[in-house]
Amino acid sequence: MKKVIVINGSPRRNGNTLRMADSVVAGIQTVLSEVEVKWYDLYEFRYSGCRSCFACKAKDGGSYGRCVIGDDLSAVLDQIADADCLIVASPVYLMDVSGQTRSFAERLCFSLGSYEKGYRSLAKKNMPVVTVYTMNALPEMASYRAFDNIEYFLGHIFSLPRRLCALNTYQFQDYTKYVVETFSELEKAYWRDVHFKDDLQAAFDAGKDIAGQLHEG
């Protein structure tokens, strides 16, 4: 049975980010009848980013290629080590992934990225990776360079990620409760009604494609 790990880097449990990730999983499950899916909501865990202890680079002690920080993220990293597919989903804050997603990526990628010749990856397999980004920005304002950064390291460790974006997202359930002068709620609602269903479909189709890769593998 194939194992898929979903990392939800959003503090919201039922927001745009989770809906996009859920569509990827739904696409996978339409192709693979038997697949184990494990969801991890990063905001539910207590953990930090890399602490620069370099235990994952040490020659002796049995920690080479493994993050030794003992916190809530440890079990998640152990699960990823034996996974067949990784989905990393994050909202975009300040033109980058959320802080929890960034800290997760530090712990995952630095421990599995060696200082051996060619910076050899220490991952057990080159599994497919999907990155999901949801943001309030319009296409011309999207921070694609920030996505390139995290995907460079995920790609080096596992495989080049398949990128999915949902742009100009509908942020609030009730816009009348907030001071929002730079956006039009009507325009946001129109974009959501016209475009978000296409974003969800693209995520679903990506899941089907990934499932095909897993089935062939």
Tens of pLDDT, residues 38-89: 999 999 999 999 999 999 999 987 899 999 999 999 999 999 999 999 999 9
Report the pLDDT value the prediction gives residue 72, as an integer from 0 to 100: 98
The angle at the Cα of 5, spanning 201 to 61, to the nearest 5 degrees, equals 155
Structure tokens at 9: 């880097």
pLDDT tens per residue, range 92-118: 999 999 999 999 999 999 999 999 999
Q: CA-to-CA distance for 49 and 194, rounded, in angstroms?
A: 38
Q: CA-to-CA distance for 164 and 126, rounded, in angstroms?
A: 20
Read off the pLDDT band of 217 (50, 70, 90).
low
Length of the chain: 217
Report the pLDDT value the prediction gives residue 108, as an integer from 0 to 100: 99
Could you tell me the sign of the dihedral formed by the alpha carbons of 110, 72, 91, 94, in that order?
negative
Q: Tell me which residue of 1, 2, 20 sits closest to 10, measured CA to CA.
A: 20
The full DSSP string for 77-141 is HHHHHT-SEEEEEEEEETTEE-HHHHHHHHHHHHHHB--STT--B--SS---EEEEEE-SS-GGG
Half-sphere exposure of 93 (CA within 13 A, CB side): 13
pLDDT tens per residue, range 22-51: 999 999 999 998 999 999 999 999 999 999
Residue of 202 and 174 predicted with greater confidence: 202
Q: CA-to-CA distance for 214 and 89, rounded, in angstroms?
A: 20
Report whether CATH 3.40.50.360 matches the domain 2-216.
Answer: yes
Burial class of residue 179 in the structure, from the number of CB atoms within 10 Å of its CB (0-12 exposed, 13-18 middle, 19+ buried): exposed
* 57 close to 64: Cβ distance less than 8 angstroms: yes
pLDDT tens per residue, range 127-183: 999 999 999 988 888 888 889 999 999 999 999 999 999 999 999 889 999 999 988
The ranges assigned to domains in the chain are 2-216
The DSSP letter of residue 161 is P
Alpha-carbon 96 to chain mean position: 12
Tokens 């693209």 map to which residue?
A: 202
Q: CA-to-CA distance for 212 and 200, rounded, in angstroms?
A: 19
Residue 200 has pLDDT above 70, yes or no: yes
